[in-house]
Homo-oligomer: A and B are copies of this chain.
Amino acid sequence: MSRTFKAFQLEEPLIFEKSSPGKSAYSLPPLDVEDLPVEEILDPEDLRDEISGFPEVSEVELISHYTRMSTWNYHVDLGMYPLGSCTMKYNPKLNERVSRIPGIGLTHPLQEDEQSQGNLEILFRLQEYLKQLTGMDDVSLQPAGGAQGELAGILMIRAYHLERRHPRRYVLIPDSAHGTNPASAIMAGYEAIPIPSDPQGRIDVKALAEKMTEEVACLMLTNPNTMGIFETYIEEISRIVHAKGGLIYMDGANFNALMGYARPGDMDIDVLHLNLHKTFSTPHGGGGPGSGPVACKKILSPYLPLPAIRQEGSMYRLDNDAPGSIGRLHAFYGNFGMAVRALCYILTCGREGLKELSEVAVLNANYIRCRLEDHYDLPYSTPTLHEVVFTDSRQNKSGVTTLDIAKRLIDHGFHPPTTYFPLIVRGALMIEPTESYSKEELDAFIEAMIAISQEATENPEKVTGAPADAKLTRLDEVRAARHPVLRWLPDGASSSA
Protein backbone atom coordinates (compact mmCIF):
# COMPACT_ATOMS: atom_id res chain seq x y z
CA MET A 1 0.00 0.00 0.00
CA SER A 2 1.49 3.32 -0.98
CA ARG A 3 1.42 6.02 1.67
CA THR A 4 -0.57 8.52 -0.29
CA PHE A 5 -3.24 8.85 -2.90
CA LYS A 6 -4.57 11.92 -4.59
CA ALA A 7 -8.16 12.97 -4.30
CA PHE A 8 -10.19 16.10 -4.55
CA GLN A 9 -10.52 18.55 -1.72
CA LEU A 10 -12.64 21.66 -1.52
CA GLU A 11 -11.53 25.23 -2.08
CA GLU A 12 -12.78 28.02 0.12
CA PRO A 13 -12.72 31.79 -0.26
CA LEU A 14 -11.96 34.23 2.53
CA ILE A 15 -14.73 34.63 5.08
CA PHE A 16 -15.19 38.20 3.86
CA GLU A 17 -15.80 36.97 0.36
CA LYS A 18 -18.62 34.68 1.58
CA SER A 19 -20.35 37.34 3.53
CA SER A 20 -23.69 38.87 2.66
CA PRO A 21 -26.09 41.07 4.61
CA GLY A 22 -28.72 39.32 6.62
CA LYS A 23 -26.84 36.17 7.49
CA SER A 24 -25.67 35.45 10.99
CA ALA A 25 -24.22 32.66 13.05
CA TYR A 26 -25.06 33.79 16.56
CA SER A 27 -27.90 33.98 19.01
CA LEU A 28 -28.12 36.08 22.12
CA PRO A 29 -30.74 36.09 24.85
CA PRO A 30 -32.94 39.17 24.80
CA LEU A 31 -31.65 42.06 26.85
CA ASP A 32 -32.98 41.55 30.36
CA VAL A 33 -32.69 45.09 31.68
CA GLU A 34 -34.16 48.38 30.52
CA ASP A 35 -33.44 48.89 26.84
CA LEU A 36 -32.36 52.51 26.59
CA PRO A 37 -31.12 53.83 23.27
CA VAL A 38 -27.34 53.68 23.16
CA GLU A 39 -27.26 57.37 22.41
CA GLU A 40 -28.77 58.11 25.78
CA ILE A 41 -25.91 56.35 27.49
CA LEU A 42 -22.96 57.45 25.41
CA ASP A 43 -22.14 60.47 23.31
CA PRO A 44 -23.09 59.71 19.73
CA GLU A 45 -19.62 60.76 18.68
CA ASP A 46 -18.14 58.00 20.81
CA LEU A 47 -20.01 55.42 18.77
CA ARG A 48 -18.58 53.73 15.76
CA ASP A 49 -20.26 53.27 12.42
CA GLU A 50 -21.07 49.88 11.06
CA ILE A 51 -17.85 48.03 10.35
CA SER A 52 -17.70 47.82 6.63
CA GLY A 53 -16.65 44.46 5.26
CA PHE A 54 -17.17 42.71 8.58
CA PRO A 55 -18.36 39.11 8.09
CA GLU A 56 -21.98 38.10 7.89
CA VAL A 57 -22.36 34.38 7.41
CA SER A 58 -24.62 31.65 8.71
CA GLU A 59 -23.46 29.06 11.20
CA VAL A 60 -23.55 26.43 8.49
CA GLU A 61 -21.28 28.48 6.27
CA LEU A 62 -18.99 29.31 9.13
CA ILE A 63 -18.54 25.67 10.00
CA SER A 64 -17.94 24.63 6.42
CA HIS A 65 -15.53 27.53 6.01
CA TYR A 66 -13.27 26.39 8.80
CA THR A 67 -13.81 22.71 8.13
CA ARG A 68 -12.65 23.06 4.57
CA MET A 69 -9.71 25.21 5.56
CA SER A 70 -8.73 22.71 8.22
CA THR A 71 -8.32 20.02 5.60
CA TRP A 72 -5.49 22.02 4.04
CA ASN A 73 -3.29 21.51 7.08
CA TYR A 74 -0.94 18.66 7.81
CA HIS A 75 -1.06 17.84 11.51
CA VAL A 76 0.19 15.60 14.26
CA ASP A 77 -2.86 13.34 14.31
CA LEU A 78 -2.32 12.56 10.66
CA GLY A 79 1.22 11.32 10.84
CA MET A 80 4.83 11.98 11.65
CA TYR A 81 5.78 15.65 11.74
CA PRO A 82 9.56 15.51 12.09
CA LEU A 83 10.11 19.22 12.48
CA GLY A 84 13.44 19.42 14.28
CA SER A 85 13.66 21.47 17.47
CA CYS A 86 9.87 21.59 17.65
CA THR A 87 9.21 18.22 19.31
CA MET A 88 6.04 17.52 17.39
CA LYS A 89 4.78 14.77 19.63
CA TYR A 90 1.29 13.46 20.11
CA ASN A 91 -1.02 15.83 22.01
CA PRO A 92 -3.08 13.61 24.26
CA LYS A 93 -6.83 13.92 24.06
CA LEU A 94 -7.04 13.54 27.81
CA ASN A 95 -5.10 16.79 28.26
CA GLU A 96 -7.61 18.58 26.11
CA ARG A 97 -10.53 17.17 28.05
CA VAL A 98 -9.06 18.01 31.43
CA SER A 99 -8.30 21.55 30.37
CA ARG A 100 -11.97 21.98 29.44
CA ILE A 101 -13.43 20.94 32.79
CA PRO A 102 -15.66 23.96 33.48
CA GLY A 103 -14.55 24.39 37.08
CA ILE A 104 -10.98 24.73 35.89
CA GLY A 105 -11.31 26.74 32.73
CA LEU A 106 -14.13 29.05 33.74
CA THR A 107 -12.27 30.87 36.46
CA HIS A 108 -11.30 34.50 36.75
CA PRO A 109 -7.65 35.22 37.44
CA LEU A 110 -8.36 37.94 39.95
CA GLN A 111 -10.52 35.93 42.31
CA GLU A 112 -9.27 35.73 45.88
CA ASP A 113 -6.82 32.91 46.49
CA GLU A 114 -9.39 31.03 48.55
CA GLN A 115 -11.63 30.92 45.51
CA SER A 116 -8.94 29.45 43.27
CA GLN A 117 -7.38 26.73 45.37
CA GLY A 118 -7.82 24.10 42.68
CA ASN A 119 -6.05 26.14 40.07
CA LEU A 120 -3.30 27.20 42.43
CA GLU A 121 -2.71 23.57 43.29
CA ILE A 122 -2.30 22.81 39.60
CA LEU A 123 0.32 25.52 39.26
CA PHE A 124 2.09 24.57 42.43
CA ARG A 125 2.20 20.89 41.69
CA LEU A 126 3.46 21.41 38.19
CA GLN A 127 6.19 23.67 39.53
CA GLU A 128 7.24 20.99 41.98
CA TYR A 129 7.41 18.33 39.30
CA LEU A 130 9.38 20.55 36.98
CA LYS A 131 11.82 21.23 39.78
CA GLN A 132 12.22 17.53 40.28
CA LEU A 133 12.62 16.84 36.57
CA THR A 134 15.20 19.56 36.04
CA GLY A 135 16.94 19.41 39.40
CA MET A 136 16.46 23.12 39.81
CA ASP A 137 15.37 24.90 42.99
CA ASP A 138 12.57 27.15 41.82
CA VAL A 139 10.21 27.52 38.93
CA SER A 140 7.92 30.18 37.56
CA LEU A 141 5.26 29.17 35.07
CA GLN A 142 4.56 32.71 33.99
CA PRO A 143 6.40 32.95 30.66
CA ALA A 144 3.89 32.44 27.87
CA GLY A 145 6.36 30.94 25.42
CA GLY A 146 9.91 29.72 25.13
CA ALA A 147 11.19 33.09 24.03
CA GLN A 148 9.54 34.80 26.97
CA GLY A 149 11.10 32.18 29.22
CA GLU A 150 14.47 33.15 27.81
CA LEU A 151 13.78 36.80 28.39
CA ALA A 152 12.76 36.04 31.95
CA GLY A 153 15.93 34.08 32.55
CA ILE A 154 18.21 36.72 31.11
CA LEU A 155 16.41 39.46 33.02
CA MET A 156 16.95 37.44 36.18
CA ILE A 157 20.61 37.12 35.39
CA ARG A 158 20.78 40.83 34.83
CA ALA A 159 19.01 41.49 38.10
CA TYR A 160 21.50 39.22 39.81
CA HIS A 161 24.44 41.09 38.39
CA LEU A 162 22.80 44.41 39.05
CA GLU A 163 22.40 43.53 42.66
CA ARG A 164 26.14 42.90 42.59
CA ARG A 165 26.47 46.42 41.19
CA HIS A 166 27.63 45.37 37.78
CA PRO A 167 25.09 44.32 35.20
CA ARG A 168 27.84 43.38 32.70
CA ARG A 169 27.46 43.87 28.95
CA TYR A 170 27.57 40.62 27.04
CA VAL A 171 25.86 37.34 26.63
CA LEU A 172 27.79 34.55 24.95
CA ILE A 173 25.73 32.52 22.53
CA PRO A 174 26.89 29.54 20.50
CA ASP A 175 26.51 30.06 16.79
CA SER A 176 24.26 27.02 16.66
CA ALA A 177 21.71 28.59 18.99
CA HIS A 178 18.12 29.32 18.17
CA GLY A 179 17.37 32.86 16.98
CA THR A 180 15.32 33.63 20.05
CA ASN A 181 18.48 33.41 22.19
CA PRO A 182 20.27 36.48 20.82
CA ALA A 183 16.97 38.29 20.38
CA SER A 184 16.12 37.73 24.04
CA ALA A 185 19.56 38.81 25.18
CA ILE A 186 19.15 42.08 23.32
CA MET A 187 15.74 42.72 24.80
CA ALA A 188 17.29 42.40 28.23
CA GLY A 189 19.78 45.09 27.31
CA TYR A 190 22.77 42.90 26.48
CA GLU A 191 24.94 42.50 23.47
CA ALA A 192 25.26 39.03 22.02
CA ILE A 193 28.66 37.54 21.29
CA PRO A 194 28.62 34.41 19.19
CA ILE A 195 30.77 31.46 20.19
CA PRO A 196 31.82 29.16 17.38
CA SER A 197 31.19 25.45 17.42
CA ASP A 198 34.03 22.97 17.40
CA PRO A 199 34.51 20.33 14.69
CA GLN A 200 32.40 17.91 16.72
CA GLY A 201 29.47 20.28 16.68
CA ARG A 202 29.85 21.29 20.29
CA ILE A 203 30.66 24.65 21.76
CA ASP A 204 34.30 25.50 21.09
CA VAL A 205 35.52 25.46 24.65
CA LYS A 206 38.73 27.27 23.82
CA ALA A 207 36.88 30.06 22.10
CA LEU A 208 34.55 30.21 25.02
CA ALA A 209 37.43 30.55 27.43
CA GLU A 210 38.78 33.40 25.35
CA LYS A 211 35.53 35.31 25.18
CA MET A 212 34.62 34.76 28.76
CA THR A 213 35.38 37.91 30.70
CA GLU A 214 33.97 39.72 33.65
CA GLU A 215 31.88 41.73 31.24
CA VAL A 216 30.01 38.61 30.29
CA ALA A 217 26.77 38.18 32.14
CA CYS A 218 26.17 34.64 31.04
CA LEU A 219 26.51 31.92 28.51
CA MET A 220 23.28 30.85 26.80
CA LEU A 221 23.65 27.20 26.12
CA THR A 222 21.31 24.75 24.48
CA ASN A 223 21.77 21.22 25.74
CA PRO A 224 21.52 18.94 23.90
CA ASN A 225 22.26 21.58 21.34
CA THR A 226 20.43 22.18 18.10
CA MET A 227 22.41 19.44 16.39
CA GLY A 228 21.05 17.04 18.99
CA ILE A 229 24.53 16.76 20.45
CA PHE A 230 25.02 16.72 24.17
CA GLU A 231 27.49 19.32 25.45
CA THR A 232 29.72 16.70 26.98
CA TYR A 233 32.17 19.25 28.35
CA ILE A 234 29.49 20.94 30.32
CA GLU A 235 31.49 20.78 33.52
CA GLU A 236 34.46 22.48 32.02
CA ILE A 237 32.20 25.04 30.40
CA SER A 238 30.62 25.68 33.73
CA ARG A 239 33.98 26.17 35.39
CA ILE A 240 35.07 28.64 32.74
CA VAL A 241 31.90 30.69 32.97
CA HIS A 242 31.48 30.61 36.70
CA ALA A 243 35.13 31.37 37.28
CA LYS A 244 34.54 34.80 35.84
CA GLY A 245 31.40 35.35 37.85
CA GLY A 246 29.23 34.58 34.88
CA LEU A 247 26.12 32.43 34.94
CA ILE A 248 24.82 29.74 32.65
CA TYR A 249 21.47 29.96 30.98
CA MET A 250 20.22 26.79 29.38
CA ASP A 251 17.72 26.76 26.57
CA GLY A 252 15.71 23.70 27.58
CA ALA A 253 13.73 23.39 24.36
CA ASN A 254 15.44 20.04 23.80
CA PHE A 255 14.57 18.62 27.18
CA ASN A 256 12.71 15.76 25.53
CA ALA A 257 16.14 14.15 25.14
CA LEU A 258 16.96 14.06 28.82
CA MET A 259 14.08 13.12 31.05
CA GLY A 260 15.13 10.63 33.64
CA TYR A 261 18.67 10.60 32.23
CA ALA A 262 20.17 13.90 33.25
CA ARG A 263 19.12 17.08 34.97
CA PRO A 264 20.31 20.58 34.18
CA GLY A 265 20.38 21.19 37.91
CA ASP A 266 23.12 18.62 38.21
CA MET A 267 25.15 20.33 35.46
CA ASP A 268 25.67 23.64 37.17
CA ILE A 269 23.03 25.33 35.08
CA ASP A 270 21.82 28.46 36.84
CA VAL A 271 18.62 29.08 34.96
CA LEU A 272 16.76 27.51 32.08
CA HIS A 273 13.44 27.52 30.35
CA LEU A 274 11.35 24.57 29.25
CA ASN A 275 8.79 24.45 26.49
CA LEU A 276 5.63 22.82 27.77
CA HIS A 277 4.50 22.83 24.14
CA LYS A 278 7.41 20.62 23.23
CA THR A 279 8.49 18.25 25.96
CA PHE A 280 5.19 18.23 27.83
CA SER A 281 2.85 17.56 24.96
CA THR A 282 0.73 20.68 24.97
CA PRO A 283 -0.46 21.33 21.44
CA HIS A 284 1.25 23.80 19.16
CA GLY A 285 -2.05 25.25 18.01
CA GLY A 286 -0.73 26.36 14.65
CA GLY A 287 1.64 28.72 16.46
CA GLY A 288 0.75 28.70 20.11
CA PRO A 289 -0.32 29.21 22.81
CA GLY A 290 2.73 27.62 24.34
CA SER A 291 4.29 27.98 27.73
CA GLY A 292 7.92 28.57 28.68
CA PRO A 293 8.43 28.04 32.41
CA VAL A 294 11.67 29.34 33.81
CA ALA A 295 13.56 27.29 36.40
CA CYS A 296 16.50 28.47 38.45
CA LYS A 297 18.90 27.79 41.22
CA LYS A 298 18.48 29.37 44.64
CA ILE A 299 20.84 32.23 43.88
CA LEU A 300 18.42 33.42 41.21
CA SER A 301 15.17 32.70 43.03
CA PRO A 302 14.77 36.24 44.37
CA TYR A 303 14.52 37.54 40.82
CA LEU A 304 11.83 35.20 39.52
CA PRO A 305 8.81 36.86 37.95
CA LEU A 306 5.84 37.69 40.15
CA PRO A 307 3.57 36.42 41.45
CA ALA A 308 5.01 33.26 42.97
CA ILE A 309 2.71 30.42 44.01
CA ARG A 310 3.37 29.24 47.54
CA GLN A 311 2.00 26.55 49.73
CA GLU A 312 1.16 27.51 53.29
CA GLY A 313 -0.19 24.66 55.31
CA SER A 314 -3.02 23.26 53.26
CA MET A 315 -3.53 26.50 51.36
CA TYR A 316 -1.96 27.82 48.22
CA ARG A 317 -1.49 31.50 47.70
CA LEU A 318 -0.16 33.96 45.20
CA ASP A 319 2.76 35.91 46.53
CA ASN A 320 3.60 39.29 45.06
CA ASP A 321 6.11 40.15 47.67
CA ALA A 322 9.63 39.86 46.28
CA PRO A 323 11.40 43.20 46.00
CA GLY A 324 14.16 41.74 43.86
CA SER A 325 11.85 40.25 41.28
CA ILE A 326 12.16 41.21 37.65
CA GLY A 327 8.41 41.85 37.91
CA ARG A 328 5.60 40.68 35.78
CA LEU A 329 5.76 39.30 32.25
CA HIS A 330 2.08 38.65 31.84
CA ALA A 331 -1.12 40.33 32.93
CA PHE A 332 -1.97 37.23 34.93
CA TYR A 333 -0.18 33.90 35.39
CA GLY A 334 0.90 33.01 31.90
CA ASN A 335 -0.77 30.39 29.78
CA PHE A 336 -2.47 28.57 32.62
CA GLY A 337 -4.32 26.22 30.26
CA MET A 338 -1.01 24.82 29.11
CA ALA A 339 0.01 24.18 32.69
CA VAL A 340 -3.13 22.13 33.18
CA ARG A 341 -2.28 20.00 30.17
CA ALA A 342 1.35 19.57 31.17
CA LEU A 343 0.42 18.46 34.67
CA CYS A 344 -2.06 16.01 33.21
CA TYR A 345 0.68 14.65 30.97
CA ILE A 346 3.19 14.23 33.77
CA LEU A 347 0.63 12.44 35.92
CA THR A 348 -0.33 10.21 33.01
CA CYS A 349 3.21 9.24 32.12
CA GLY A 350 4.60 9.03 35.62
CA ARG A 351 8.21 8.60 36.54
CA GLU A 352 8.87 5.59 34.34
CA GLY A 353 6.83 6.83 31.45
CA LEU A 354 8.65 10.13 31.18
CA LYS A 355 11.96 8.35 31.12
CA GLU A 356 10.73 5.96 28.49
CA LEU A 357 9.56 8.88 26.36
CA SER A 358 13.03 10.36 26.27
CA GLU A 359 14.52 6.97 25.65
CA VAL A 360 12.33 6.23 22.67
CA ALA A 361 12.70 9.75 21.30
CA VAL A 362 16.46 9.23 21.32
CA LEU A 363 16.19 5.71 19.97
CA ASN A 364 14.01 6.83 17.08
CA ALA A 365 16.33 9.66 16.14
CA ASN A 366 19.31 7.35 16.19
CA TYR A 367 17.47 4.78 14.13
CA ILE A 368 16.71 7.39 11.48
CA ARG A 369 20.26 8.61 11.60
CA CYS A 370 21.66 5.16 11.13
CA ARG A 371 19.33 4.34 8.27
CA LEU A 372 19.85 7.62 6.44
CA GLU A 373 23.54 8.25 6.89
CA ASP A 374 24.38 6.33 3.74
CA HIS A 375 22.10 8.59 1.77
CA TYR A 376 22.53 12.01 3.26
CA ASP A 377 25.56 13.87 4.41
CA LEU A 378 25.96 13.92 8.15
CA PRO A 379 27.96 17.04 8.98
CA TYR A 380 29.09 15.72 12.35
CA SER A 381 29.88 12.17 13.25
CA THR A 382 29.36 12.94 16.92
CA PRO A 383 26.66 10.82 18.54
CA THR A 384 23.34 12.57 18.80
CA LEU A 385 20.36 12.29 21.08
CA HIS A 386 16.78 13.18 20.14
CA GLU A 387 17.37 14.74 16.75
CA VAL A 388 19.75 14.52 13.86
CA VAL A 389 20.87 17.08 11.33
CA PHE A 390 21.79 16.14 7.77
CA THR A 391 22.78 18.40 4.92
CA ASP A 392 21.96 18.56 1.25
CA SER A 393 25.59 18.52 0.12
CA ARG A 394 25.33 15.20 -1.70
CA GLN A 395 22.12 16.18 -3.43
CA ASN A 396 23.58 19.61 -4.31
CA LYS A 397 25.59 17.90 -6.96
CA SER A 398 22.50 17.41 -9.02
CA GLY A 399 21.21 20.85 -8.16
CA VAL A 400 18.89 19.69 -5.45
CA THR A 401 18.76 21.71 -2.24
CA THR A 402 17.41 21.25 1.22
CA LEU A 403 14.38 23.30 0.26
CA ASP A 404 13.72 20.93 -2.63
CA ILE A 405 14.08 17.88 -0.45
CA ALA A 406 11.72 19.37 2.10
CA LYS A 407 9.12 20.19 -0.51
CA ARG A 408 9.45 16.78 -2.10
CA LEU A 409 8.75 15.11 1.22
CA ILE A 410 5.33 16.71 1.03
CA ASP A 411 4.61 14.71 -2.10
CA HIS A 412 5.64 11.62 -0.21
CA GLY A 413 3.05 12.43 2.41
CA PHE A 414 5.24 13.83 5.18
CA HIS A 415 5.69 17.15 6.81
CA PRO A 416 9.25 18.28 6.10
CA PRO A 417 11.93 18.50 8.78
CA THR A 418 13.21 21.88 9.92
CA THR A 419 15.36 23.37 7.21
CA TYR A 420 18.38 25.65 7.15
CA PHE A 421 18.64 25.57 10.89
CA PRO A 422 20.96 25.50 12.77
CA LEU A 423 22.54 28.21 10.70
CA ILE A 424 26.04 26.81 11.07
CA VAL A 425 25.12 23.75 9.07
CA ARG A 426 24.88 24.65 5.43
CA GLY A 427 21.63 23.32 4.03
CA ALA A 428 20.62 21.74 7.29
CA LEU A 429 17.82 19.19 7.40
CA MET A 430 16.96 18.80 11.03
CA ILE A 431 14.94 15.73 11.89
CA GLU A 432 13.25 15.14 15.23
CA PRO A 433 10.97 12.13 15.20
CA THR A 434 9.88 12.23 18.87
CA GLU A 435 8.69 9.11 20.65
CA SER A 436 5.14 9.17 19.34
CA TYR A 437 5.08 7.34 16.06
CA SER A 438 5.26 3.71 15.13
CA LYS A 439 8.19 1.97 13.55
CA GLU A 440 6.13 1.60 10.38
CA GLU A 441 5.78 5.36 10.27
CA LEU A 442 9.50 5.90 10.89
CA ASP A 443 10.33 3.38 8.20
CA ALA A 444 7.99 5.05 5.75
CA PHE A 445 9.70 8.35 6.43
CA ILE A 446 13.12 6.80 5.98
CA GLU A 447 12.06 5.22 2.74
CA ALA A 448 10.67 8.50 1.50
CA MET A 449 13.96 10.19 2.30
CA ILE A 450 15.89 7.48 0.51
CA ALA A 451 13.57 7.67 -2.46
CA ILE A 452 14.12 11.40 -2.64
CA SER A 453 17.87 11.00 -2.57
CA GLN A 454 17.49 8.64 -5.51
CA GLU A 455 15.14 10.98 -7.29
CA ALA A 456 17.70 13.73 -6.74
CA THR A 457 20.14 11.86 -8.95
CA GLU A 458 17.76 10.19 -11.34
CA ASN A 459 15.07 12.74 -11.73
CA PRO A 460 16.11 15.98 -10.09
CA GLU A 461 13.30 18.04 -11.64
CA LYS A 462 10.84 15.96 -9.71
CA VAL A 463 12.50 17.19 -6.56
CA THR A 464 13.15 20.77 -7.57
CA GLY A 465 9.62 21.07 -8.89
CA ALA A 466 8.05 19.76 -5.70
CA PRO A 467 5.54 19.83 -4.22
CA ALA A 468 3.30 18.58 -6.95
CA ASP A 469 0.71 16.95 -4.73
CA ALA A 470 -0.07 19.65 -2.19
CA LYS A 471 -2.87 22.19 -2.32
CA LEU A 472 -0.49 24.65 -3.91
CA THR A 473 2.86 24.49 -5.60
CA ARG A 474 5.68 26.56 -4.20
CA LEU A 475 4.60 29.96 -3.05
CA ASP A 476 6.21 33.17 -4.09
CA GLU A 477 7.66 34.33 -0.80
CA VAL A 478 9.66 37.11 -2.41
CA ARG A 479 6.57 38.67 -3.83
CA ALA A 480 4.83 38.33 -0.46
CA ALA A 481 7.62 40.31 1.19
CA ARG A 482 8.14 42.86 -1.60
CA HIS A 483 4.49 43.68 -2.03
CA PRO A 484 2.98 42.81 1.28
CA VAL A 485 -0.72 42.10 1.26
CA LEU A 486 -1.44 41.65 4.91
CA ARG A 487 -5.19 41.97 5.00
CA TRP A 488 -8.25 41.68 2.89
CA LEU A 489 -9.90 44.89 1.77
CA PRO A 490 -13.52 45.27 0.66
CA ASP A 491 -12.82 46.51 -2.81
CA GLY A 492 -10.34 43.81 -3.62
CA ALA A 493 -7.65 46.41 -3.13
CA SER A 494 -4.89 45.58 -0.73
CA SER A 495 -2.50 47.32 1.55
CA SER A 496 0.92 47.23 0.03
CA ALA A 497 4.33 48.65 0.67
Question: Does A61 contact B93, Cβ atoms closer than 8 Å?
Answer: no
Question: Does A93 contact B470, Cβ atoms closer than 8 Å?
Answer: no
Judge whether A77 is part of the interface by a CB distance below 8 angstroms. yes
13 A-B residue contacts at CB 8 Å?
A: A1-B13, A7-B7, A7-B469, A7-B471, A18-B438, A18-B440, A23-B438, A27-B348, A59-B93, A60-B437, A63-B77, A64-B78, A71-B78
Bound form: Cα–Cα A321–B72 in Å: 57
Judge whether A8 is part of the interface by a CB distance below 8 angstroms. yes
Q: For residue A63, which residues in chain B have a CB less than 8 angstroms away from its CB?
A: 77, 90, 93
Chain B residue, CB-CB nearest to A438 = B61
From residue 50 to 103 of chain A, which have CB atoms closer than 8 A to chain B? 58-61, 63-64, 67-68, 71-72, 77-79, 90, 92-93
Question: Does B8 contact A5, Cβ atoms closer than 8 Å?
Answer: yes
Bound form: Cα–Cα A57–B374 in Å: 31
Judge whether A2 is part of the interface by a CB distance below 8 angstroms. yes
Least Cβ–Cβ distance between A19 and chain B, in angstroms: 10
Question: Does A3 contact B10, Cβ atoms closer than 8 Å?
Answer: yes
Question: Does B9 contact A7, Cβ atoms closer than 8 Å?
Answer: yes
Give the one of A4, A13, A27, A411 with max B CB within 10 A. Answer: A4
Question: Does B27 contact A413, Cβ atoms closer than 8 Å?
Answer: no
Closest 8 CB pairs of A and B: A8-B469, A4-B8, A67-B77, A60-B90, A60-B436, A7-B471, A6-B6, A1-B11
Question: Does A9 contact B6, Cβ atoms closer than 8 Å?
Answer: yes
Given contact pairs A7-B7, A23-B438, a sample of 5 additional A-B residue pairs in the complex whose CB atoms are under 8 Å apart: A1-B13, A5-B11, A5-B471, A9-B9, A68-B78
Question: Does B10 contact A4, Cβ atoms closer than 8 Å?
Answer: yes
Question: Does B7 contact A11, Cβ atoms closer than 8 Å?
Answer: no
Bound form: Cα–Cα A9–B63 in Å: 21
Q: For residue A411, which residues in chain B have a CB less than 8 angstroms away from its CB?
A: 8
Bound form: Cα–Cα A60–B10 in Å: 27
Q: For residue A410, which residues in chain B have a CB less than 8 angstroms away from its CB?
A: 8
Bound form: Cα–Cα A90–B348 in Å: 37
Bound form: Cα–Cα A427–B413 in Å: 40
Question: Does B77 contact A64, Cβ atoms closer than 8 Å?
Answer: yes
Q: Given contacts A18-B440, A438-B61, is CB(A10)–CB(B92) below 8 Å?
A: no
Question: Does B59 contact A79, Cβ atoms closer than 8 Å?
Answer: no
Q: For residue A72, which residues in chain B have a CB less than 8 angstroms away from its CB?
A: 7
- Interface bits A447-491 vs B (CB < 8 Å: 1, else 0): 000000000000000000000011100000000000000000000
- Interface bits A134-170 vs B (CB < 8 Å: 1, else 0): 0000000000000000000000000000000000000
From residue 282 to 321 of chain A, which have CB atoms closer than 8 A to chain B? none
Give the one of A413, A438, A471 with max B CB within 10 A. Answer: A438
Q: For residue A79, which residues in chain B have a CB less than 8 angstroms away from its CB?
A: 10, 64, 68
Least Cβ–Cβ distance between A101 and chain B, in angstroms: 10
Least Cβ–Cβ distance between A67 and chain B, in angstroms: 4
Least Cβ–Cβ distance between A196 and chain B, in angstroms: 39
